[in-house]
Structure 1
Amino acid sequence: MGNRDLSERLLVFAVSVGKVVDRLPRSTFGRQIAWQLSDSGTSPMANYEEACAAESRRDFVHKMSICLKELRESKSWLRLLKASELLSAIKVEPHID
């Protein structure tokens, strides 16, 4: 997979997360998940672009580790969202894998 492929996949993921977040109820719990998921689901795209312009290998590895950390966090929020049944599993499941 090339740099542009991953960049595009992260863009698609960020847009997808945004669509899920927009469907969440405006309850306290829904807003909390929305905020957390919006943050962790969109930052990998920006962090990856920063990693591509890293000033050193160490900087690149650091920024890529942030991407991975944020993606893992997103997966956790999506799993919680699925378990909470705030949205149907049909709307959440494709984003977990």
Structure 2
Amino acid sequence: MKESLIYNKAFEFAIKIVKLYKYLCKERSEYTLSKQVLRSGTSIGANIKEGLYAQSKRDFLSKFSIALKECSETMYWLELLNATEYIDSKISKELIDNCSEINKILASIVKTTKQSLNIS
């Protein structure tokens, strides 16, 4: 398998999410929202990795669609953490920008894959 740009971006993003989780637990004593963003933020790359080894195009589409949904959920948690002042605007903007970039790439991959399978 060749190098995957989207997988690499998702993996680097997951590292940032794990670091955010550690910060929120240690410095802010926040455990509920941080667990949610940890789960969804690390799930993106895990689903992409599964999709890269899919058994079929439909399986690939399924895994990448799940990654796209997890990415959207992660965006929500990041926005909520910012709105509730658990993270500052600078950290929030960087993470949301990263997440948005991954979201756009995943949306494009999902759309192209659906077109190739003649799915609406």
Q: What is the TM-score normalised by the length of structure 2?
A: 0.73
Structure 1 unaligned spans of 5+:
none
Root-mean-square deviation (Å): 1.3
| Whole-Å separation in 2 of the counterparts to 1:52 and 1:58 | 12
> Match of 1:84?
84
Q: What is the TM-score normalised by the length of structure 1?
A: 0.89
Question: Can you list the C-alpha shifts for 1:39-62, whole angstroms capped at 9, x where unaligned?
Answer: 000011111011011111111111
> Match of 1:72?
72
Q: How far off is 1:3 after superposition?
A: 5.1
| Whole-Å separation in 2 of the counterparts to 1:80 and 1:3 | 33
| Whole-Å separation in 1 of the counterparts to 2:83 and 2:18 | 19
Q: How many percent of aligned residue pairs carry the same amino acid? A: 34
Q: Secondary structure at the match of 1:92?
A: helix
Query: Where has structure 1 moved over 2 Å in runs of 4 or more?
Result: none
CA contact (8 A) 1:20 1:91 kept: no
Question: Can you list the C-alpha shifts for 1:47-90, whole angstroms capped at 9, x where unaligned?
Answer: 10110111111111110000000000000000000100012111
Q: Secondary structure at the match of 1:16?
A: helix
**Residues paired across the two proteins, number:** 93
5 Å-filtered alignment, 1:21-40, equals 21-24=21-24, 25-26=28-29, 30-40=30-40
Q: Secondary structure at the match of 2:4?
A: helix
| Whole-Å separation in 2 of the counterparts to 1:71 and 1:77 | 10
Name which one, 1 or 2, has greater alpha-carbon Rg.
2
